[in-house]
Amino acid sequence: MIKRRLCLFFIVALVEIATSMPSFGEWVWNKETGWMKSPSSDVTTIEQRYQYALSLVVEQKYLNAIKEFELIIDADPKSEYAETSRINIGWAYYLNGDCKKALKMYNAVLKKHPGTRRTMEVLEKMYQVGVSQMDTNEDEAINVFEKIIEKQRLGPLAPDAQIKIADCHFKLAHYEEAVDAYEKFLENYPKHAWVSYVQYRIPLSKVHHEKQQERNYGFLTSAKEGFEEYLVTNPNGVYVEDAKRMIREIRIISAEREFNIGEFYIRRKKPKAAVMYFQTVITNYPGTLWAEKAQEKIDFLRMIEAIK
């Protein structure tokens, strides 16, 4: 009987201790507020609801957090809490993988709170969404970056946004648009740290454009000049070896082009015209495979006495 009473006493004591101690799982860490409890049943003020919504974001319960932020907005749509709640809704959507809804909310913030002191914060978050979309939806990413520039053309994010626009066009194989976007960067931000990168990307875009167009070689000369300019202005630049490689590649492409024109004139039974192009290959592109082939063609034409 005594043993039974002692067991019952210890069981009751353990239950009381367990229920009197705070559950560590109800507490979350936030770098802005430190440790805080998730007061889901104790919310009575907007501030408490806001803190609770933040705790849900920290706990990665993004959809629940969004609902709490929406309740704050409904309660007082013109308050500062409403403004920050809209920003945090956008961030929660982004963390939950919904970039489209995140951008929609950020645009709503800029529209509902024009000139807000949090504009820079919103644009930074939009920029982050845009960077994320570069891997999945380049066109939408371009729209985001253009919006950032439209909002603050001389702001700190504008140069990076302009670079990203050009890079998106390059990824989409829209090389002419990429060249235009890179050149716009040089025009608007000529002293920015990204200038050397852009000086390399412009001729690179031109080379890719010419490859895409197959027989249209109009950009090759300017591309070669662009790489040479990069080497002169950035002798120790990151892309020096790449620029040299591209110059060699352009020489080969140009040599092949001149050689093919010579072949065309042979088929037209105009050996003298053909020799002019073969000689151009030998003179302008020595050391290339096409120079060797051109010399072989000239030697053959002499052997058959098609030329002197």
* Lowest mean pLDDT, pick from 40-49, 95-104, 232-241: 40-49
Contact 145, 132 (CB under 8 A): no
Is 63 a residue whose pLDDT tops 80? yes
3-state secondary structure of 113: coil
* 52 found inside a domain: yes
Which pair of structure tokens corresponds to residue 111? 């529209």
Whole-number pLDDT of residue 5? 46
Query: What band does 154 get if pLDDT is binned at 50, 70 and 90?
Result: confident
pLDDT at 95 over 90: yes
Residue where one domain finishes, among candidates 39, 67, 98: 98
pLDDT digits (tens, 9 = 90+) for 180-236: 999 999 999 999 999 999 999 999 999 988 877 755 566 788 899 999 999 999 999
Would 107 be classed as within a structural domain? no
Range with the lowest mean pLDDT among 37-46, 92-101, 219-228, 251-260?
37-46
Asked whether the predicted pLDDT for residue 289 surpasses 70, the reply is yes
Q: How many domains does the chain have?
A: 2
Domain assignment present for residue 94? The answer is: yes
Any idea what DSSP says for residue 259?
A: H
Q: Tell me: pLDDT of 19 over 60.
A: no
Q: Which two tokens stand for residue 62?
A: 């993004």
pLDDT, residue 307, reads 84
Average pLDDT of the segment spanning 280-291: 93
Q: Is the pLDDT of residue 53 over 90?
A: yes
| Band of residue 179 on the pLDDT scale cut at 50, 70, 90 | very high
Final residue before a domain boundary, out of 52, 80, 98: 98
Mean pLDDT for 268-297 is 93
Residue 190 is assigned to a structural domain of this protein: no
Note whether residue 65 is domain-resident.
Answer: yes
Q: Two tokens at 237?
A: 């630049």
Q: Do residues 88 and 69 lie in contact, with contact meaning Cβ atoms separated by under 8 Å?
A: yes
Query: Is 39 domain-assigned?
Result: yes
Final residue belonging to a domain, choices 53, 78, 98: 98
> Is the separation of the CB atoms in 68 and 88 below 8 Å?
no
pLDDT higher than threshold 70 for residue 147: yes
**pLDDT (tens digit, 9 = 90+) per residue, 263-275?**
999 998 999 999 9
144 vs 222: which has the higher pLDDT: 144
* Residue 286, domain member (yes or no): yes
pLDDT grade for 26, boundaries at 50, 70 and 90: low
User: What does the pLDDT read at residue 116?
Assistant: 77
Cα 248 from Cα 125, distance rounded (Å): 42
Looking at per-residue confidence, does 213 or 237 come out higher? Answer: 237
Q: Is the pLDDT of residue 167 over 50?
A: yes
Q: What domain range is 46 assigned to?
A: 22-98
Q: What is the mean pLDDT of the chain?
A: 85
Based on the number of CB atoms within 10 Å of its own CB, is 180 exposed (0-12), middle (13-18) or buried (19 or more)? middle
Domain assignment present for 183:
no
Yes or no: say if 36 and 27 are a contact pair by the CB < 8 Å rule.
yes
- Tokens of residue 270, six digits: 């105009």
pTM: 0.73
Query: What is the structure's pLDDT at 3?
Result: 42
